[in-house]
A and B are shown apart, each in its own frame.
Chain A
Amino acid sequence: MPKGGRLDTSAVCALGLALMFGLPYLLDTYGIVEFTVFVVMAILSLSLGFIWGYGGILSFGQSAFFGLGGYAYAVAAMNASDSTLPFLAAIVVPTLFAGLLGYFMFYGRISDTYLGVITLTVTVILFNVVNSTAGDAYHIGNAPLGGFNGMPSVPPLNIPGMPDRQLGPDELWYVAAGFLILVYAGLKFLLRSHFGRMVVAIRENESRAALLGYDTRRYKLLVFMIGGGIAGLAGCLFTNWGGFISPTVFSLATSAQIIIWVMVGGLSTLIGPIIGCIAIQYLVSSIGAQQVFNANLVLGTILLVFVLLVPQGVIPALLALAQRLRLPWPARDLGPRTAMDAES
């Protein structure tokens, strides 16, 4: 079992690296810039895929951490000359915020549904607060928060220690794709560790894990914080992509999109959220171009259809189909929500 799993992971990473270095030769600059944002969002999608698919924590407010990361980077980058500290801030701030929020939720032992409601609420609060910070009175250091207007001309990332050597759009592609592969491999590695097995065990049966003497609240809190940090990283890269951030990153529509990506791609896999994210974004950007159907209408329909008809998502459904047709690939069981997935 571990052998097959490792092969899979390295194959996916190798394919990822090939795309990362190959796509710039296949696409023009516009195409690369478009794919960069797809890849950035795929990191965000992975963060929810991890905490929901493996940790069993359905956060309706993953966009809160995404937005916080973006804003933390923007505020810090406007105050600092070098982008290294702002980059770290974009990961640390959402992680700590997830820690604080998670403390209230997991140590309060509230149920899954209430957890969804609270994460949703926090996102709405952040949206309202940041939206209302227009005007000169609201600034942190040299950085005006801008309220509903957002924060334009955020300084881009630079090579650590060389403030004048800023990254261009083509270089941002390598950074974003590199981080996506890194996060994917890192999560795979984490899931194979003792910690990862515990996380899945808690998802499968929390009382049993608790009765075996594990502090399930602590594990869930850590999973939630890791998810928050990854979402923050995505937020930082997103701010870099456009050089701009506005309160819409906190909107419910953003949160809904993340859930749709994971749901469509497939729970309990890590590749599913990535594929789901890129496919749906491609679809939405094509809808935006043709202006016939409203994007909300399409997203809502997709979510409804998947919940009612394909609740396990596309990738697990395809794998199950391949197994039923006795195709040689894949050789292992990938049914949704089984403990085996921890190994994969």
Chain B
Amino acid sequence: MDLAAIIALNILNGIGSLVLLSLGLAIIFGMMRVINLAHGEFLMLGAYTTVFTTNAGLNIWVAMLVVSPLVVGAIGVAVERGIIRFLYGRMVDTMLATWGLSLFIIGLITTIFGNTANGVPAPLGSFSVGDYRASYYSIVLIVIAAALMVAVYLVLRFTRFGLVARATMQNPNMASALGISPPRIYMATFGIGAAVSGLAGGVLAPISGIIPVMGAAYIAKAFITVVSGGASILAGTLAASTLFGLINQVATFGTTPVFGEVALFISAIVLLRALPQGITGRFFKGRL
């Protein structure tokens, strides 16, 4: 019973981490069809922001939930203005440019801060379930992931900005004819996607190694989740995260964490062979 509870918690934790890792990417890819290969570096910048502001004396919750998204969101807007906006409609070039950006950011952070940084400890401590111990922070992570999903859903579904953004993505010319400026919507959407990534990076900071190349460890997982999820941002991310989080944690429990990841990737590749449009290309079609 205790074991079952711990495994269930681990599975939920795995799903929550995948949601956090991929939501920012899903917003940018789902809304704008831009593949942002610098996504891992946005997460890394979020983590760095949290670590540095916390070590400078700021409350850790403020750092990860407020400062990180603001900083990375601002960087996202700058990147959209400086690079991405010249490349709309050229998907492969966007991938290459964002990969260049990714290397650039890694190089810049390494030059400024060196190869390592002091981490922050996970707050809140741990509790025990029978013979097993688990940290409160893993529950916080699940709650934040769920809250973030709900918030994005509410913004896209019920606010004026959400409506305008969805309309612009569906038909930019029509939106433009109705008096909306598509470039500003693109800029805002990219900024929001980057801010969500920054928040995710901040939340993951206490439980990951803070190094300039930490993004590389996340980016493959984030991409495979978004691509397998398919066209619907939230339904797709949730469906793919649930499936892969489950497979990953079960395989990790049976073997080692590395082979848990291998199981995740192999199942993703087989899934894409069966459903080339992703999960939401077949199921939950047309949902948000």
Contacts and interface: CB of A to CB of B under 8 A. Distances in A.
Interface of A: 58, 60, 101, 104, 107-114, 116-118, 120-122, 124-125, 128-129, 131-132, 251-253, 256, 259, 263, 293-304, 307-308, 311
Given A104-B269, A252-B219, A304-B101, 4 more contacts: A107-B273, A294-B110, A300-B102, A304-B104
B8 interface: no
Contact of A304 (B97, B110, B220): B97
A295 B212 CA distance: 13
Contacts of A117: 35, 223-224, 227
Q: When A and B form their complex, which 6 residue pairs have the shortest distance between CB atoms, in order from nearest?
A: A297-B107, A303-B100, A300-B104, A300-B103, A296-B107, A304-B100
Nearest to B97: A307
B99 A129 contact: no
Contacts of A108: 272-274, 276
B92 A121 contact: no
Contacts of B87: 307-308
A110 B276 CA distance: 6
The size class of the interface chain B forms with chain A is 35 or more
B107 A295 contact: yes
A195 B111 CA distance: 48
13 contacts: A104-B269, A108-B272, A118-B269, A122-B265, A122-B269, A252-B219, A253-B103, A294-B108, A297-B103, A297-B107, A297-B110, A300-B101, A304-B104
B7 interface: no
A256 B101 CA distance: 11
Contacts of A112: 91-92
B58 interface: no
B105 interface: yes
Nearest to B96: A307
Interface in B242-283: 256, 258-259, 261-262, 265-266, 268-270, 272-274, 276
Interface string B77-106: 000000100110001110111011111111
Contacts of B223: 117, 120-121
B95 A113 contact: yes
B107 A104 contact: no
A301 B95 CA distance: 14
B96 A259 contact: yes
Nearest to A132: B258
Contact of A114 (B83, B106, B220, B272): B272
A299 B276 contact: no
Contacts of B272: 104, 108, 110, 114, 118
A296 to B, nearest CB: 3
A297 B101 CA distance: 9
A311 B107 CA distance: 23
B91 A113 contact: yes
Contacts of A131: 258
Contacts of B276: 108-111, 114
B188 interface: no
A114 B258 contact: no
B216 interface: yes
B228 to A, nearest CB: 10
B256 A132 contact: yes
Contacts of A104: 269-270, 272-273
A107 B259 CA distance: 26
B136 to A, nearest CB: 29
Between B99, B107, B270, B273, the greatest number of chain A beta carbons within 10 A of the residue's beta carbon is seen for: B99
A79 B96 CA distance: 40
B108 A297 contact: yes
Chain B CB count within 10 A is highest, among A101, A125, A129, for A125
A254 B92 CA distance: 19
Contacts of A118: 224, 227, 269, 272
B107 A308 contact: no
A78 to B, nearest CB: 23
A297 B83 contact: no
Nearest to B40: A252
Contacts of B274: 108
A302 B99 CA distance: 11
A110 B228 CA distance: 11
Contact of B111 (A113, A128, A259, A297): A297
Contacts of B86: 308
Contacts of A311: 93
B103 A296 contact: yes
A97 to B, nearest CB: 13
A121 B220 contact: yes
B106 A128 contact: no
A311 to B, nearest CB: 6
Interface string B206-240: 00000000001001100110010000000000000
Contacts of B100: 299-304, 307
